[in-house]
Structure 1
């Protein structure tokens, strides 16, 4: 859903990318810095109850996630390494966000249901990209689904920010529950897509 905004984000980030390249900043440096900020913020701000502050900082760096790619294309250095680095470090950022929420739910009380749902989102959210990567490694495709990464992050960050400004905790619990289901459905969709391709290749 939110992946459709990629073209607009590329146009927005192009002048910023050119400026950073002129300053000698590399795309890899932007990727690594963004990941470090997200991980440190999520693991500090969320467990300590600074939900709104943490969400705002993380949102800025999540929105600039495509900046490194724009810089690489502008510099003519885009390739497999950059794609690998970006995808790998994304897992650290995503994991830290949900891990931070798990710590918040367990430290702020005994909300086991919400903690379990956040943990489920963390685990299932790592399987979604793995399914795609494994399929591509086997020469097939497994993209798409009802809950891609951008959608999952947008929903959990909006819900976290809402709780940070005073909404009841149940808002975040409900969103985590929906994301758990949506992530599971996305995995099934990707597995089904790969299964059809595999059966078609056998039939040939």
Structure 2
């Protein structure tokens, strides 16, 4: 949802940076891989060690590389098919590492099994949200939209871990349970969208 409203504003900031990085000789795919690898390492290093603030800010910083690889692709005249697949795949890896790191923290540091289970549920739902869209598009259907996409998942999760790092009680619990509920709704919304798209195509073929 945020992607729709914020993309134009963000691009005005990131496009000049992306063009500069391209002039330095970097490629969008290299930026994607660097950002993903660093985000994964930070998520799985800092969160299990109860270093929530360090984990929050480093993961957020490296997640912003995702904005830069898109800006770099635009500077080069558009993304390649392989680049688009690589970017989407790396997004899933980074999202999974973030939620796995938070679940690890919930199990070993907070000793909160319900929270850890909810975090793992969010991980599965994040993958399912992306899968519904990808499978729908592969079948020629529309499965986009919904309340929670990648930007919202990152914001909700990292706001929770960041506030917890500043000592706000139950911040992670609230963030994860809110994310779980909204993620379930998003999966349902996408399934409904796919059903609606299939019905529209069926009606069109009969007319």
TM range (shorter): over 0.9
* Cross-structure match for 1:57: 58
Aligned residues: 203
* Cross-structure match for 1:67: 68
TM-score, normalized by length of structure 1? 0.95
Contact persistence 2:160–2:172 (CA under 8 A): yes
Q: How many Å apart are 1:109 and its aligned residue?
A: 4.2
Per-residue CA distance 1:95-153 (angstroms, 9 max, x = gap): 00000011111111431011011101100011001100000000011111111111111
Of 184-193 and 6-15, the range deviating more from structure 2: 6-15
Contact persistence 1:10–1:67 (CA under 8 A): no
* Cross-structure match for 2:12: 11
Contact persistence 2:100–2:119 (CA under 8 A): yes
For 1:43-192, list aligned pairs within 5 A: 43-168=44-169, 170-192=170-192
Structure 2: state its 5+ residue gaps: none
Separation of aligned partners in 2, 1:110 and 1:159: 17
Separation of aligned partners in 2, 1:171 and 1:78: 38
Structure 1: state its 5+ residue gaps: none
Per-residue CA distance 1:157-186 (angstroms, 9 max, x = gap): 011100011111x22112111111111110
Of 67-76 and 126-135, the range deviating more from structure 2: 67-76
TM-score, normalized by length of structure 2? 0.94
Separation of aligned partners in 1, 2:93 and 2:59: 13
* Cross-structure match for 2:29: 28
Change (3 A) 1:103 1:131: same
Separation of aligned partners in 2, 1:77 and 1:175: 36
